């Protein structure tokens, strides 16, 4: 037995047909940067009287499963996380180029089993009933594009052999931050310094009475999208929109070329009126913390479009 090292850690994912039941096959090897996914079970201290000063043995509490996973925003594998977050996409294919369209507001969302393996030990932790609650992406001028996915799980089973079999793998082609852009009305929104994007399904864990300490599942609540845009103060366009309370569209994208890109489109975002602090001799910046909303009945608040060479998710 060896000592586990993060450099050798493996993650495999498969979508579940039945919530909380790990599939026997169909796993994908997925790249990741870090993770806190797992289950923990606390202890309840002894509260009985009449047994002296030393306590009796503690009792076990319920199982709390979940955590975050930080993943690269890449051309192919990121579609698996979008499916877990938003549901199955609508896919159209022309020649070898597939366009996958994911939308928010679906009433039912999938769950997955995610195995984290440390081959040196060996240890293989199968996390079952995993649902994607949130997504956070920071866009900036340089660096690698990455996303933090907030996960809610039901249970974790640790074994000495892998339950994922021989996972298939998609080639990794990462987006860099310089591939990023922010657009309004189809044109680049100038002088954006950074953008912090956050989407949440606002899952409610179904905490029912059962003899294994597990949750019974999760129900998605009202979805939310927020973006914090830091811009150099060079015009009153956004400020006037905020003053008038007029919604606007925004599009966040990473583009390698027309056949390889990711777009997050919001047809209606609402802007607050921000301060424009002057902190010294350097440039003046303003931060707009915008909120997404449904523009009209039947139109999604958020549409994520991934264009690549993957036939289906």
Residue 39 has what pLDDT? 98
* Three-class DSSP labels, the chain: CCCCCHHHCEEEEEECCCCCCCCCCCCEECCCCEECCEEEEEEECCCCCCCCCCCCCCEEEEEEEEEEEEEECECCCHHHHHHHHHCCCEEEEECCEEEEEEECCCCCCCCEEEEEEECCCCEEEEEEEEEEEEEEEEECCCCECEEEEEEEECEEEEECCCCCCCCEECCCCECEHHHEEEEECCEECCCEEEEEEEEECCCEECCCCCCCCCCCCEECCCCEEEEEEEEECCCCHHHHHHHHCCCEEEEEEEEEECCEEEEEEEEEEECCCCCCCCCCCCCCEEEEEEEECCCCCCCCCCEEEEEECCCCC
Provide the 10 A C-beta neighbour count for residue 35: 19
Residue 223 has what pLDDT? 98
Residue 83 has what pLDDT? 99
Residue 243 has what pLDDT? 87
Residues in CB range of 53: below 8 A, 6 or more apart: none
Give the chain's residues under pLDDT 50: none
Residue 235 has what pLDDT? 79
Residue 214 has what pLDDT? 97
Residue 15 has what pLDDT? 99
Residue 286 has what pLDDT? 87
């Amino acid at each position: 037995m060896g000592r586990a090292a993060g450099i050798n850690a493996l993650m495999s994912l498969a979508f579940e047909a039945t919530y909380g039941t790990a599939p026997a096959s169909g796993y994908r090897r997925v790249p990741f940067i870090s993770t806190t996914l797992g289950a923990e079970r606390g202890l309840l201290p002894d509260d009985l009287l009449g047994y002296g000063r030393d306590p009796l043995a503690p009792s076990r509490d319920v199982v709390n499963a979940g955590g975050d996973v930080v993943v690269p925003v890449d051309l192919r594998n990121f579609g698996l996380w979008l499916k877990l977050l938003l549901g199955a996409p609508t896919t159209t294919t022309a020649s070898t180029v597939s366009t996958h369209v994911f939308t928010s507001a679906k009433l039912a969302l999938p769950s997955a089993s995610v195995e984290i393996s440390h081959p040196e030990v060996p240890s293989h932790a199968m996390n079952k009933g995993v649902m994607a609650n949130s997504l956070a992406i920071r866009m900036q001028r340089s660096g690698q594009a990455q996303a933090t996915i907030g996960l809610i799980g039901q249970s974790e089973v640790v074994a000495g052999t892998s339950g994922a079999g021989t996972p298939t793998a998609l080639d990794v082609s990462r987006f860099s931050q310089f591939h990023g852009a922010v657009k309004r009305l189809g044109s680049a929104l100038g002088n954006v310094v950074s953008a912090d994007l956050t989407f949440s399904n606002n899952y409610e864990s179904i905490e029912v009475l059962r003899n294994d300490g597990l949750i019974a599942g999760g129900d998605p609540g009202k979805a939310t999208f927020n973006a914090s845009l830091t811009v150099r103060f060079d015009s009153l366009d956004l400020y006037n929109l905020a003053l008038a309370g007029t919604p606007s569209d925004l599009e966040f994208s990473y583009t390698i070329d027309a056949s390889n890109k990711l777009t997050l489109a919001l047809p209606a975002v609402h802007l607050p009126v921000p301060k424009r602090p002057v902190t010294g001799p350097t440039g003046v910046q303003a931060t707009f913390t915008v909120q997404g909303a449904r523009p009209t009945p039947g139109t999604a608040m958020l549409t994520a479009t991934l264009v690549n060479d993957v036939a289906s998710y």
